[in-house]
């Protein structure tokens, strides 16, 4: 069979499959696998809210309010929420299945009316959705083009390509005018508004479409281009800087900007470096980590990215199970108090991963930038592919070692696990390990509710009966003590698969799962 014939045949097959898979919008609960009655539904006892003092991250002028704007909660990537999440008082669980196969809703944002704006991944393409926060009913939907990794996975039967792809809209943000901004798989940055018609119905409208293909290679695999001869460089993430300029990064190390007023696009290439994470922004610059180094960027007068400083780190000798690539798995965290400015990541050292804290001010010699390097978790079994939580001078890190995709933990298996809190000393002279916990949180982006002092993880313990039970777990930020855990469901449909936990303005906890979105709410006072 010729390549042309093969391509045409596969297009017909996948078109038919798309009709079967897409179908009508789903509002059903995510189905539970057998065994959900054989495991504990709830453990522990309700917590007492105990707010943690501290100054919240600065509010970005071009992002939605802190807690509403994106995967990491704010421009600094703190992983904190200003609202009190569930305390474990008779928590109730519900869920929404977003597709027959897949449907994970990763980044969850909230518009000014409290409605959810999210992007959900299916095998026929990513869907931008507007959801009712109570019922999770779909109010509006906008379909994005299918990612190259999905086409490659289906044609090669190698589905690891999907689970290691962070492009195509997985990282998105809600701006200060309730518009969702993302980069799709065509190497276009879209800005979408949602609007309500006179009849009460909602719809999405593209207000801006910035084409990056003049600066980003875009000969990518698709159903009509199964054997590309050129290069494809997916756009990983987008974020605005403090002036409103939209920054973007690609997997193959391109860093660029878009001027929303003029549409001017500028970029540079970090040769030989890969970017698989999002990035963080403060009024003093943009912090980006590659698989080789941590950077602080600003722009030249024409908007071209300019590296202010660069720090290499130990990237190890290979990719660990639980990491997307050979490098740091963290979006940089910006934090600090008493006039001190820090940025933190983790490295990929072979034996034990380290938490690294750097001074981010200008004019510091390279030899003096590193504040501390703290090894965490067990020898030969440590990695994380999620952002740290930062509050005050504290950092919280979880261990994802052993998690690859939704097949990794079936038949009652779990990860090595572990969560640690690291504190930077008040005088900036170093860091100390505050506590360690044995929490088994395989892959979630955790959150801290600063309003009640609880950390929220998505946990899975080993089960001798082979039941794959998933729990929302609340941990005391001050001590590391597990307060309570609530069963959310059983089976791969409830596998978190790298999505974040998000605390809503009404105190609801949301978590993306492989098959959609789950919610946990207190039902007692």
117-172 pLDDT per residue, tens: 999 998 888 999 999 999 999 999 999 998 888 888 888 877 777 777 888 888 99
Any residues with CB less than 8 A from the CB of 34 and at least 6 apart, and which?
Answer: 467, 490
We report the CATH number of the domain holding residue 284 as 2.130.10.10
Average pLDDT across the chain, whole number:
93
Q: What does the pLDDT average to over 281-288?
A: 97
- Residue identified by tokens 């006039």 is 339
Give pLDDT, residue 5.
32
Sheet (strand 394-398) strand order: 389-391, 394-398, 419-424, 431-437
Please, are residues 372 and 424 in contact by the beta-carbon 8 Å criterion?
yes
Residue 73 CB coordination number (10 Å): 26
Residue 9 burial (CB < 10 Å; 0-12/13-18/19+)? exposed
Three-state secondary structure call for residue 15: helix
pLDDT at 23: 38
pLDDT value at 8 more than 60:
no
The residue-averaged pLDDT of 170-198 equals 97
* Mean of pLDDT values over 212-240: 94
Mean pLDDT of 368-395: 97
Structural contact between residues 180 and 130, judged by C-beta atoms closer than 8 angstroms: no
Number of independent structural domains in the chain: 1
When pLDDT is cut at 50, 70 and 90, the band that residue 27 belongs to is low
Share of the chain above pLDDT 90, in %: 86
Contact predicate 376/399, CB 8 Å: yes
pLDDT of 17 higher than 70: no
pLDDT value at 338 more than 90: no
Mean pLDDT in residue range 6-23: 35
Residue 178 has pLDDT above 90, yes or no: yes
Using alpha carbons, select from 355, 470, 358 the residue that is nearest to residue 414. 470
Q: What is the pLDDT of residue 168?
A: 83
β-bridge pairing 447-449 and 80-81: parallel
What is d(CA 461, CA 455) in angstroms, rounded to the nearest whole number?
A: 18
Residue 26: predicted pLDDT = 45
| pLDDT score recorded for residue 167 | 83
Give me the mean pLDDT over the 78-103 stretch.
96
Q: 17 in helix, strand or coil? A: helix
Q: 217-249 burial string, b = 16+ CB within 10 Å, else e?
A: bbebbbbeebeeeeebbbbbbbbbbbeebbbbb
Report residue 39 as tokens.
């495991």
pLDDT band at 329 (very low <50, low <70, confident <90, very high): very high
Residue whose structure tokens are 């009849």? 199
User: Could you tell me the pLDDT band of residue 101, with boundaries at 50, 70 and 90?
Assistant: confident
What is the structure's pLDDT at 16? 34
Mean pLDDT of 2-22: 35
Domain containing 509 equals: 3-522
- 194: its two tokens: 């949602």
Token pair 């009913």 is found at 137
> What is the average pLDDT across 266-285?
97
């Amino acid at each position: 069979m010729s390549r042309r014939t093969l391509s045409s045949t596969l297009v017909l097959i996948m078109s038919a499959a798309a009709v079967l898979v897409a179908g009508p919008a789903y509002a059903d609960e995510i189905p539970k696998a057998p065994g959900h009655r054989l495991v504990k539904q709830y453990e522990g006892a309700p917590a007492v809210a105990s707010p943690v003092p501290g100054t919240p991250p600065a509010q970005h002028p071009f992002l939605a309010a802190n807690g509403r704007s994106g995967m990491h909660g704010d421009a600094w990537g703190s992983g904190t929420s200003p609202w009190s999440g569930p305390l474990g008082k008779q928590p109730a669980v519900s869920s929404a299945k977003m597709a027959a196969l897949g449907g994970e809703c990763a980044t969850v944002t909230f518009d000014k009316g409290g409605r959810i704006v999210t992007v959900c991944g299916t095998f026929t393409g990513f869907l931008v959705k507007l959801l009712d926060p109570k019922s999770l009913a779909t109010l509006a939907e906008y379909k994005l083009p299918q990612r190259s990794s999905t086409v490659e996975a289906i044609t090669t039967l190698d589905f690891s390509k999907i689970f290691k792809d962070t492009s195509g809209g997985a990282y998105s943000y809600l701006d200060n005018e309730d518009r969702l901004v993302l980069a799709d798989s065509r190497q276009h940055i879209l800005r979408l508004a949602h609007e309500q018609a006179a009849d009460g119905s909602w719809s999405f409208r593209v207000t801006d479409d910035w084409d990056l293909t003049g600066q980003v290679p875009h000969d990518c695999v698709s159903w009509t281009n199964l054997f590309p001869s050129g290069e494809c460089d997916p756009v990983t993430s987008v974020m605005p800087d403090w002036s409103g300029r939209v920054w973007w990064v690609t997997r193959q190390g391109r860093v660029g900007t878009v001027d929303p007023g003029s549409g001017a696009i500028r970029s540079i290439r970090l040769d030989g470096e890969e970017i698989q994470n999002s990035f963080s922004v403060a009024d003093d610059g943009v912090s980006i980590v590659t698989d080789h180094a941590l950077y602080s960027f600003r722009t030249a007068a024409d908007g071209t990215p300019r590296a202010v400083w660069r720090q290499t780190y130990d990237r190890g000798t290979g990719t660990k199970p639980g990491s997307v690539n050979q490098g740091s798995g963290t979006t940089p965290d910006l934090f600090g108090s008493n006039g001190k400015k820090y940025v933190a990541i983790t490295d990929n050292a072979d034996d034990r991963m380290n938490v690294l804290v750097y001074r981010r001010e200008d004019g510091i010699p390279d030899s003096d930038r590193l504040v501390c390097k703290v090894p965490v978790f067990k020898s030969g079994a440590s990695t994380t592919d999620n952002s740290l939580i930062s509050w005050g001078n504290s950092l919280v890190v979880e261990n994802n070692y052993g998690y690859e995709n939704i097949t990794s933990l079936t038949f009652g298996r779990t990860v090595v696990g572990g969560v640690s809190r690291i504190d930077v000393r008040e005088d900036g002279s170093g860091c100390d390990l505050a506590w360690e916990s044995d929490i088994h949180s395989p892959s979630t982006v955790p959150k801290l509710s600063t309003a009640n002092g609880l950390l929220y993880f998505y946990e899975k313990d080993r089960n001798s009966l082979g039941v794959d039970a998933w729990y929302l777990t609340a941990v005391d930020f001050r001590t590391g003590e597990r307060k309570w855990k609530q069963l959310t469901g059983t089976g791969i449909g409830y596998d978190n698969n790298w999505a974040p936990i998000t605390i809503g303005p009404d105190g609801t906890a949301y978590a993306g799962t492989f098959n959609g979105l789950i919610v946990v709410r207190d039902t007692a006072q």
